[in-house]
Homo-oligomer: A and B are copies of this chain.
Amino acid sequence: MNFNPLSDTHIKNLRAMVAEDRFSTGESVLELHAKDESHHRPCRPESGIWPVTRDEVARVVKYANDNRLPVTGWGSGSSLEGNPIPVQQGLVLDFTRMNRIVDIRTGDFQADVEPGLVYQDLNEKLRHTGLFFPPDPGARATLGGMIANNASGTRTIYYGSTKDYVLRLSVVLANGEIIELGTRASKTSSGYDLIRLFVGSEGTLGIVVEATVRLAGLPAEFSAAVATFASVEDAGKAVFEIMRNGLHPAALELLGPECVELMNREENLTLAIAPTLFMEFHGSTTGQLAEVLEMAAEICNSLGCRRFEPGVGRAERDRIFKARHALGEMIIRNHPDSNVLVMDVAVPITAYSPLIAAIRGELAGTGLVSYYISHAGNGNVHLNIVGKKGDTRQWELINGIVQRLVTRSLELGGTATGEHGIGLGKRKFMIAEHGSSLQWMKRVKSLFDPNGILNPGKIFP
């Protein structure tokens, strides 16, 4: 695709489409939108725009399309695969100021939201209704970003991913047209499901300007437990057995000892430094949960669990999950001279142990510093690998390891990304994962965005 540079005329015209203070080509603005939380190389856009209405978005996108200017949506920049880095420059649409909760309908378990809303802020607002929006990627992600990446997190094993919570979407297409998709009914068989085509499309097919999301009831009761193991392998076996026995954990997280050590240090926790399973169960009675916890203890103990600590209280649970969610940033902070590559793969649960073995095999003898973090109940593994900035040889080693581990995950029936999206880093695996259906994804892209102005350079190799 050939794009045009942002001329003075373009700047004048775009500036006139929004209020004076919501368009900028200032250095700090461009720098702010040049990178996400990933290790990928930054790239500055040519301007930043903060729309506040869908009509503004439509006008700007139409103008960009007519003038072949790249447009990239921006939430909070918390993504981990370079998804919003404007590699072709152009305009960044920053949704920070388009962040209203338009409506909450508690009786229907639904909320209408704007894309710039941060999900924690939605949940804070919902706190007194007994409802919540379950997907929890951890970082202060926006609803728009979560929809773009089909975000998920620690609770996905029980509550599902973002795609399971989107009932309606208002989308601005590349030509500036605004379309409405979906229904407020809790189920439908009416026409093609275009909603789920946009969810997870990383802003390459259209730009979400409003969404109706489904809410869930806060669990009446919860219980949590921490189990430590001699090895990640043993912990992995426990994960498989907990899932196979249908215990329905609301979270089942596996962390390597290096993560636990870091969390203890940074968040003043006193966890045993060992491969550790955090598990949580949601239910309507304490009796039910006590029974489930007992079964989990039995499973863990039969697999050589060193210590099973049940009855973790809500405050302690919150502290652990806060630390868990902060892990990514802690790792970066603790290696100031390095970049951190966050590998994200997912495999069927029977392939979870083989994947651990492959990771162990790849890391053995390399001397690399890495952190094993896993939404284990989903077979979703993150390996955060630390590489010295500018150390070409080390980065070649790291990239080779990631290449082989992603390929291994695909061989095991898995996916190149469980939740971070394709962005920049996983484009090279698209052919291996999707084969000839990739061509159909490209055709769908061309149908909705014939000039390729929407988040160019992403998803497709």
Contacts and interface: CB of A to CB of B under 8 A. Distances in A.
Nearest to A459: B191
Most buried by B among A149, A191, A292, A436: A191
A379 B186 contact: yes
A190 B440 contact: no
Contacts of A107: 240, 244, 349-350
A420 B187 CA distance: 11
A413 B185 contact: yes
Contact of A184 (B151, B184, B414): B414
Interface stretch (A175-183, A311-319, A332-340): A175-183
Nearest to A380: B187
B433 A149 contact: no
Most buried by B among A185, A285, A346, A349: A185
A163 B193 contact: yes
B196 A197 contact: yes
Contacts of A200: 189, 191-193
A424 to B, nearest CB: 14
A411 B25 CA distance: 45
A19 interface: no
Contacts of A78: none
Given A379-B185, A447-B447, A190 B434 contact: yes
Interface residues of A, number: 87
A194 interface: yes
A108 to B, nearest CB: 4
Interface string A81-100: 00000000000000000000
Nearest to A149: B189
A457 interface: no
Given A183-B413, A415-B183, A426 B190 contact: yes
A65 interface: no
A385 B324 CA distance: 57
